[in-house]
């Protein structure tokens, strides 16, 4: 058992994992058995690439280093309300990065960037003629942070839960016509006030924390519109043997 001094020293120790400073794309194509497989180079020319950088920094972290909202949080552990990306939605070359943290005065945030391939890497592309590399969208999610993002048509759905490792509400919010807003917006920072709450997702104490949300193909959902929700730390009620876990199917309105 550690004494008080040893525990206090552990709390002061912060380390950076290289895989937490990575933004990449990886092609998927069928293998010989027809199953989807991750590959470095696909037959149609698509290749695996990452945002140019190293284990400590990349083009995005450098752009954020002096940001007045997120710069001060870059060195704080992600699960302690530090900078923590936990959602990704794609619209062409535009990416929306959902932040689990920081939550600023109750507001969660999405970072909008655009990327393109260059010399075997991904690079940031200006969003407008002024050279803007990122835009910020602040969302009122009742103090919750982003866990996942998913476009359905022009609407964006946001899976939100506690920023820290807590037992608490997990909900799905809807941002109507989000793609239309993103195409016309020229503001560097916007406060999006049109979100609606769609559904409350079940959670447990120390288990069953929803982490992923996506449309389930109609052929797998009996021809109906359904969401598939998957959970981190699945409890005994969501396990079937050693290698199988259960998610939830939600009706999509």
| Same domain flag for 121 and 154 | yes
Q: Looking at the domain assignment, is residue 122 inside a domain?
A: yes
| Same domain flag for 161 and 234 | no
| Same domain flag for 183 and 212 | no
Spatial separation of the C-alpha atoms in residues 113 and 137, rounded to whole Å: 11
Look-up: residue for tokens 């990449």? 24
| Same domain flag for 135 and 206 | no
Question: Average pLDDT of 236-241?
Answer: 87
Give, as one character, the DSSP assignment of residue 43: T
Residue 20 phi/psi, 5° resolution? -95, 5
| Same domain flag for 85 and 179 | yes
- pTM, 2 dp: 0.90
pLDDT confidence bin for 6, thresholds 50/70/90: confident
181 alpha carbon, distance to own chain's centre: 19
Q: Looking at the domain assignment, is residue 5 inside a domain?
A: no
Question: Average pLDDT of 66-87?
Answer: 91
| Same domain flag for 44 and 117 | yes
Lowest average pLDDT, out of 79-93, 111-125, 148-162, 191-205, goes to 191-205
Range of the domain at 86: 17-27+34-201
Q: Looking at the domain assignment, is residue 12 inside a domain?
A: no
Q: Looking at the domain assignment, is residue 11 inside a domain?
A: no
Question: Average pLDDT of 83-112?
Answer: 94
How much is the pLDDT for 175?
96
Q: Looking at the domain assignment, is residue 95 inside a domain?
A: yes
Residue where a domain terminates, one of 162, 185, 201:
201
Distant-in-sequence, close-in-space partners of 45: CB < 8 Å, separation ≥ 6:
none
Distant-in-sequence, close-in-space partners of 13: CB < 8 Å, separation ≥ 6:
none
> To 5 degrees, how large is the angle CA 103–CA 104–CA 108?
45
Give, as one character, the DSSP assignment of residue 183: H
| Same domain flag for 88 and 161 | yes
Q: Looking at the domain assignment, is residue 1 inside a domain?
A: no
133 alpha carbon, distance to own chain's centre: 19
Average pLDDT value over all residues in the chain: 90
| Same domain flag for 207 and 193 | no
| Same domain flag for 231 and 169 | no
Residue 78 phi/psi, 5° resolution? -55, -40
Indicate the number of domains in the chain.
2
According to DSSP, the residues that pair with 123 across neighbouring strands are 116
According to DSSP, the residues that pair with 170 across neighbouring strands are 201
| Same domain flag for 192 and 242 | no
Residue 238 phi/psi, 5° resolution? -115, 15
Contact 82, 75 (CB under 8 A): yes
| Same domain flag for 118 and 208 | no
How much is the pLDDT for 80?
85
More confident call, 166 vs 219: 219
Residue where a domain terminates, one of 182, 201, 220:
201
Q: Looking at the domain assignment, is residue 4 inside a domain?
A: no
| Same domain flag for 192 and 162 | yes
Q: Looking at the domain assignment, is residue 10 inside a domain?
A: no
């Amino acid at each position: 058992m550690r004494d008080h001094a040893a525990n206090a020293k552990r709390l002061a120790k912060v380390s950076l994992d290289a895989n937490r400073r990575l933004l990449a794309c990886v092609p998927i194509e069928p293998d010989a058995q027809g199953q989807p497989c991750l590959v470095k180079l696909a037959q149609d020319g698509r290749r695996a690439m990452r945002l140019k950088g190293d284990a400590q920094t990349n083009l995005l972290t450098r752009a954020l280093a002096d940001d007045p909202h997120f710069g001060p949080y870059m060195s704080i552990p992600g699960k302690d309300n530090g900078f923590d990306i936990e959602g990704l939605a794609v619209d062409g070359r535009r990416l929306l990065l959902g932040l689990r943290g920081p939550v600023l005065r109750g507001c969660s945030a999405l970072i909008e960037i655009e990327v393109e391939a260059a010399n075997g890497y991904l690079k940031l592309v200006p969003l407008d003629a002024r050279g803007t590399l990122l835009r910020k969208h602040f969302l009122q999610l009742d103090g919750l942070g982003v866990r996942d993002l998913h476009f359905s048509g022009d609407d964006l759905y946001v899976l939100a839960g506690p920023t820290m490792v807590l037992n608490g509400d997990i909900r799905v919010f809807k941002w109507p016509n989000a793609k239309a807003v993103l195409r016309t917006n020229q503001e560097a920072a916007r406060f999006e006030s049109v979100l609606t709450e769609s559904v409350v997702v079940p959670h447990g104490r120390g288990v069953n924390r929803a982490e992923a949300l996506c449309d389930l193909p109609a052929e797998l959902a009996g021809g109906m519109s359904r969401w598939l929700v998957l959970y981190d730390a699945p409890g005994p009620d969501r396990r079937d043997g050693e290698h199988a876990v259960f998610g939830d199917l939600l009706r999509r309105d």
